[in-house]
Chains A and B, each alone.
Chain A
């Protein structure tokens, strides 16, 4: 379908709270049973041999290697960056990951460690993970991260405002955040585990895309449930439909709870068959994860040599 994009249509829907509400509630509903069945059916694809090798390398290139602990140290971040540049010290053919993802105060050591590598520096901001702070504080958080050298900002939406139906407030916050991002890409975390329904996931996705988010992201990783196949399905449909309407390609990042290569490969199948193969690039699809990379490396080695190494053969941070 080629729909000629009329930007005034989309700017009209964000004119005031009532218009935005009408638009979001006018989106087609999501039947949860059907969405779950479709996600489960895609998970039965059998990805073997050459297809698996391609998928594993592609997944590695899509990882946002993440550490978001109170106990993080500059040393841990440097070690993470070394792994991000060269995930397998014994095998230079293994591609670098897409980005490292840290708290704003640890952007500086990451910038130093990743200089010249092409690996992006993502920083969570806006009072991550709860988002419960004054807007001015959240924006300052973003400015600090960008000033320190972050090239990607992972913001959280105000779920309280969203669930209370104050959509325009959420929209305005995203717009304001985008404005202080400067050149940095903005990923908007919906925290779908707190949005509860797939209808809400669809509305929050569209809201974030309308507000200018470059990526929509499932979760902070601090709330369970995090990324799930039905949620990923609905978000991939949102970027696909948004692209149909506007011509703009926006990305999806799944975060939280994705630990195995098998899950990652299944998500790539979903990206391929739901959004389309254009999205099979780190520019438009990411996995936010910490332990996933090690499993991808183990499976990659297994596929290449036929032997499965134990967990002692990959590095831990």
Chain B
């Protein structure tokens, strides 16, 4: 191939902005200290180089954190709502002030492109704190009774795909409602949550209100099993979610789960095609497809399949895959070797089951965890790639003829987190959305997040809502 005419020079964001420290500590009862677990190295998935040492918690640290949160709970709950709100506003502002630092750190630890961490993850995390700060002194008007009480102490376990944003989704409503928390970020992406702990300490949030523990699945399990916690909030895989629900069954402890998905992105023949192509790209290649609500199944009306797929392929050829810190990168690195192996295994199964695999020409770096954007056409509803959550940049294309068939195929999954509808016909948007068994239905857009909009699943995608007025309910004793 000839040299392109317009070659974008590298435009990397400086990694110095992240202020990486050689080591990070857990945050318990208002203090940073070494955990009693192992010290692990967190690595940059883009080149497998170690970033920093992280001191992990052991189960006694979990007990300490839960005790600290319990001790702080009554006073925090008794604080007037407007004072709790003040702390949340301060945290929101501090996230904005340290936005570039957090964005670079997130891209280093997670592998996501700086364009996304800078324009989506960090601003949306700040927006979430701002939004729930506003609710803190208005809970009596939220529709949950004249004087709603907090649940108490919440254990929160979050995933690696949006590390800081998921921490914000968990902490902001919990604190606004007067709960205290013990939060565990994912083992591969602990850094931004631990910087959030710094912010929380610097903004003088009373000690014990927020405790943040680094650790692996065993620490997650210790949090789930700790019966001094009144509530567990978990975002992650459906498999782990089911185990958590088993553990909590009969204990009276509350639970909210936000789990996997296999969203259908339905494109009708009268859709605005150029925008639909953008929505498909954003639906499945945003964050390398490592999004629980990713539009991983494209359901396209048969009569426009060829046109849409060729337009999609032309668009994918312009995606820039590579250095997550380069401001022009569209698709970054896969978060971990384990995740990459899963994506490879499922993609191979797609080929083995007879679907046609396609990727644009792109040079992947030699080191690090990389997977080219991939489209499977000729996928059948029975194929594994149409049923199982891949959690990677892999799109499965299926076709339909009638609106009924589209709805039937879209709903034919154990999941029910999100869906997309593309059509110029407003009445069709409404009628299809009403029939889709999904917690979020996007119309002529995809993967749009706003703190005012409730988010959550049907079926095996979980229960409970995060965001919006509805997101308060998970943290109020109602």
Asked if A51 lies at the interface with its beta carbon under 8 angstroms from chain B, I say yes
Most buried by B among A29, A44, A49, A268: A29
| CB < 8 Å neighbour of A277 from B5, B9, B328 | B5
CA–CA, A244 to B275, complex, Å?
Answer: 18
Q: How many A-B residue pairs have CB under 8 A?
A: 75
The residue in chain A whose Cβ has the minimal distance to the Cβ of B307 is A1
Chain B residues contacting A147 (CB-CB under 8 Å) are none
CA–CA, A8 to B7, complex, Å?
Answer: 39
Asked if A136 lies at the interface with its beta carbon under 8 angstroms from chain B, I say no
CB distance from B254 to the nearest CB of A (A): 38
- The list of the 9 closest CB pairs from A to B, nearest first, reads A34-B275, A46-B11, A1-B310, A46-B327, A31-B272, A31-B275, A51-B9, A28-B273, A29-B424
What 1/0 mask marks residues of chain B from 1 to 35 whose CB sits below 8 Å from any chain A CB? 00011111101000000000000000000000000
Most buried by B among A31, A51, A58, A277: A31
CA–CA, A50 to B3, complex, Å?
Answer: 14
> Is B274 within 8 A of A51, CB to CB?
no
> Is A54 within 8 A of B6, CB to CB?
yes
| CB < 8 Å neighbour of A51 from B8, B272, B275 | B8
Asked if A284 lies at the interface with its beta carbon under 8 angstroms from chain B, I say no
Asked if B222 lies at the interface with its beta carbon under 8 angstroms from chain A, I say no
CB distance from B373 to the nearest CB of A (A): 15
CA–CA, A137 to B142, complex, Å?
Answer: 68
Chain B residues contacting A269 (CB-CB under 8 Å) are 6
| CB < 8 Å neighbour of B274 from A1, A28, A47, A268 | A28
Asked if A180 lies at the interface with its beta carbon under 8 angstroms from chain B, I say no
CA–CA, A215 to B25, complex, Å?
Answer: 62
> Is B8 within 8 A of A38, CB to CB?
no
> Is A30 within 8 A of B6, CB to CB?
no
Contacting residues of chain A (264-291) with chain B, CB-CB under 8 angstroms: 268-269, 272-273, 277, 280
CB distance from B306 to the nearest CB of A (A): 7
What 1/0 mask marks residues of chain B from 387 to 398 whose CB sits below 8 Å from any chain A CB? 000000000000
Chain A residues contacting B9 (CB-CB under 8 Å) are 47-52
> Is B274 within 8 A of A48, CB to CB?
no
CB distance from B477 to the nearest CB of A (A): 40
The residue in chain B whose Cβ has the minimal distance to the Cβ of A233 is B274
> Is B279 within 8 A of A34, CB to CB?
yes
Chain A residues contacting B270 (CB-CB under 8 Å) are 28-29
| CB < 8 Å neighbour of B272 from A34, A37, A54, A280 | A34
Asked if B271 lies at the interface with its beta carbon under 8 angstroms from chain A, I say yes
Chain B residues contacting A1 (CB-CB under 8 Å) are 306-307, 310-311, 314
Asked if A35 lies at the interface with its beta carbon under 8 angstroms from chain B, I say yes
Asked if B445 lies at the interface with its beta carbon under 8 angstroms from chain A, I say yes
CA–CA, A201 to B460, complex, Å?
Answer: 45
What 1/0 mask marks residues of chain B from 76 to 96 whose CB sits below 8 Å from any chain A CB? 000000000000000000000
What 1/0 mask marks residues of chain B from 95 to 127 whose CB sits below 8 Å from any chain A CB? 000000000000000000001000100000000
> Is A38 within 8 A of B273, CB to CB?
no
With A34-B445, A44-B327, A50-B7 known, 6 other A-B pairs at CB within 8 A are A1-B314, A34-B274, A45-B8, A47-B11, A51-B6, A273-B318
| CB < 8 Å neighbour of B275 from A38, A46, A54 | A38
CB distance from A240 to the nearest CB of B (A): 9
Chain B residues contacting A51 (CB-CB under 8 Å) are 6-9
Asked if A168 lies at the interface with its beta carbon under 8 angstroms from chain B, I say no
What 1/0 mask marks residues of chain A from 53 to 73 whose CB sits below 8 Å from any chain B CB? 011001000000000000000
Most buried by A among B7, B11, B271: B11
Asked if B278 lies at the interface with its beta carbon under 8 angstroms from chain A, I say yes
CA–CA, A38 to B272, complex, Å?
Answer: 13
> Is B275 within 8 A of A30, CB to CB?
yes
CA–CA, A31 to B422, complex, Å?
Answer: 10
A-B contact pairs, 17 of them (CB 8 A): A1-B314, A29-B270, A29-B271, A31-B275, A31-B424, A33-B444, A34-B445, A37-B278, A44-B115, A44-B327, A46-B327, A47-B11, A51-B6, A52-B9, A55-B6, A269-B6, A272-B6
Contacting residues of chain A (68-104) with chain B, CB-CB under 8 angstroms: none
CA–CA, A236 to B11, complex, Å?
Answer: 26
Chain A residues contacting B7 (CB-CB under 8 Å) are 50-51, 54
CA–CA, A29 to B311, complex, Å?
Answer: 15
Chain A residues contacting B327 (CB-CB under 8 Å) are 44-46
A28-B273, A29-B424, A44-B119 given; A34·B444 CB < 8 A? yes
The residue in chain B whose Cβ has the minimal distance to the Cβ of A273 is B318
CB distance from B228 to the nearest CB of A (A): 46
CA–CA, A51 to B470, complex, Å?
Answer: 48
CA–CA, A39 to B445, complex, Å?
Answer: 15
CA–CA, A52 to B9, complex, Å?
Answer: 8
Most buried by A among B9, B274, B424: B274
Chain B residues contacting A29 (CB-CB under 8 Å) are 270-272, 424
Chain A residues contacting B328 (CB-CB under 8 Å) are 45-46
> Is A48 within 8 A of B445, CB to CB?
no
The residue in chain A whose Cβ has the minimal distance to the Cβ of B448 is A37
> Is B274 within 8 A of A33, CB to CB?
no
> Is A237 within 8 A of B274, CB to CB?
yes
What 1/0 mask marks residues of chain A from 190 to 201 whose CB sits below 8 Å from any chain B CB? 000000000000
Contacting residues of chain B (383-427) with chain A, CB-CB under 8 angstroms: 424
CA–CA, A21 to B7, complex, Å?
Answer: 41
> Is A31 within 8 A of B6, CB to CB?
no
What 1/0 mask marks residues of chain B from 295 to 307 whose CB sits below 8 Å from any chain A CB? 0000000000011
The residue in chain A whose Cβ has the minimal distance to the Cβ of B446 is A34
CB distance from A172 to the nearest CB of B (A): 29
> Is B272 within 8 A of A28, CB to CB?
yes
Chain B residues contacting A54 (CB-CB under 8 Å) are 6-7
Chain B residues contacting A35 (CB-CB under 8 Å) are 274-275
CB distance from A268 to the nearest CB of B (A): 7
> Is B278 within 8 A of A38, CB to CB?
yes
CB distance from A37 to the nearest CB of B (A): 7
> Is B119 within 8 A of A30, CB to CB?
no
> Is B271 within 8 A of A28, CB to CB?
yes
CA–CA, A91 to B327, complex, Å?
Answer: 32
CA–CA, A28 to B9, complex, Å?
Answer: 35
Chain B residues contacting A58 (CB-CB under 8 Å) are 6
CA–CA, A38 to B444, complex, Å?
Answer: 13
The residue in chain B whose Cβ has the minimal distance to the Cβ of A26 is B270
CA–CA, A99 to B304, complex, Å?
Answer: 41
Most buried by A among B8, B314, B328: B8
> Is B11 within 8 A of A48, CB to CB?
yes
Most buried by A among B275, B311, B314, B445: B275
What 1/0 mask marks residues of chain A from 12 to 36 whose CB sits below 8 Å from any chain B CB? 0000000000000000111101110
Chain A residues contacting B306 (CB-CB under 8 Å) are 1
The residue in chain A whose Cβ has the minimal distance to the Cβ of B278 is A38
